[in-house]
Amino acid sequence: MKNLTKIVPLMLICILILAACSSSKPKTSSSSNGNGYEKTTIRLAYNLPQDHHISKGIEQFAKEVTEKSGGAVKVQVYPAGQLLSDKDMNQSILTGGVEMGVNSSTLWASTVPAMGIFDVPYIFKDYGTAGEALSGEFGDKLRKAMEDKGAKVLMFADYGYAQFANNKRPLKSPSDFKGLKIRSIGDIPSEMIKAYGASPVFMGAGEVYMGLQRNTVDGATSGTTAMVQRKYDEVTKYLTINNYAYLEFILAVNKEYWGNLPEKTQQLISETAAETEKWIRSQAEKEDESTAKELEEKGMEVYVVPKEDLPKWKEAAKPAWDSFSKNAGKLGEELLDLVDKN
């Protein structure tokens, strides 16, 4: 018993000494690194081919966020549909099934009808007009509409202009479309195709080559970047450059997940996304020009619609404008008014 009474005070002294030593050391968290970023892994999915300029920008964005955070904020990329199809992407982002994802504005239009603005024919006269709109009130309205649905827009990624390729004849006026079967990319482009006298056909991007080869469709609409990647030059003869729709892809993050990230992490991601957005926008025009030239060099007959002829193409596409106005409501009208001011 005497030995026990001697041991207990000795143990208390040792505990006090250890406590004093530990309190003199700086407090660190296993969930943060030396740069002050909390550790987290963000999954980012996209469906575009990895050699597309948008894909290259997204990969660089992920790399820079990871590096700038000293590896604490790890952006884990799943490219080319490895994790999610484009049809499943939006719902997964909204429900938190994936933290971040890249998808087309056309597909987001089913959730936010005003996103269909990018499919409205001849809405943006040139690359600069589109960039100015997205950087101003026009872009802010779309960002708010997306947040209201549960997704925060981190970046508008410019894909470039949509064109037409076909096997039958040069399309030098809207009347030349009459009787053709054209693969469409959305509801609004389909209204334009019908207004031009052709029949829109829906099929996945991966099915178009075979559809053209087997004459299931006579032609297709897409950006020239995709036409090169999917080898349209092997199965179509004519290319019409009319720049009817300025296609956008959107890097979005689940809003609730975003709200729970530390402010420092949010700032890092936002700043890096803004830098990447500028780079992708600078590449869109270059890629459109180089891929159109490449298709011509590979044997396609290219017709560029003269600027003075575009008003009649736009007038003939009026049913597509009406369709957008009907579906997009008040916000759609506000966006159209903002574009008209430019």
Q: How far apart are CA 61 and CA 155, in angstroms?
A: 11
For residue 83, what are the contacts with CB-CB under 8 A and spacing of at least 6? Answer: 43, 45, 98
Check if the beta carbon of residue 303 is closer than 8 Å to that of residue 240.
yes
Query: In the structure encoding, which two tokens stand for residue 298, read together?
Result: 């590979």
Taking only the tens place, the pLDDT of each residue in 272-328 is 999 999 999 999 999 999 999 999 999 999 999 999 999 999 999 999 999 999 999
At residue 33, the pLDDT reads 60
At residue 26, the pLDDT reads 28
pLDDT at 342 over 70: no
pLDDT at 205 over 50: yes
User: In the chain, what are the domains?
Assistant: 37-341 (3.40.190.170)
HSE (CB half, 13 Å, CA atoms) of 130? Answer: 28
Q: Which of 225, 208, 268 is nearest to 75 (CA)?
A: 268
Check if the beta carbon of residue 118 is closer than 8 Å to that of residue 328.
no
pLDDT at 3 over 80: no
Check if the beta carbon of residue 229 is closer than 8 Å to that of residue 52.
yes
- How far the first Cα of the chain sits from its last, in Å, is 93
Q: How far apart are CA 288 and CA 245, in angstroms?
A: 13
b (16+ CB within 10 A) / e for 281-305:
bebbbebbeebbeebeeeebebbeb
Check if the beta carbon of residue 92 is closer than 8 Å to that of residue 288.
no
Beta bridge partners of 301: 238
C-alpha dihedral over 174, 177, 178, 183, to 10 degrees? -130
At residue 4, the pLDDT reads 43
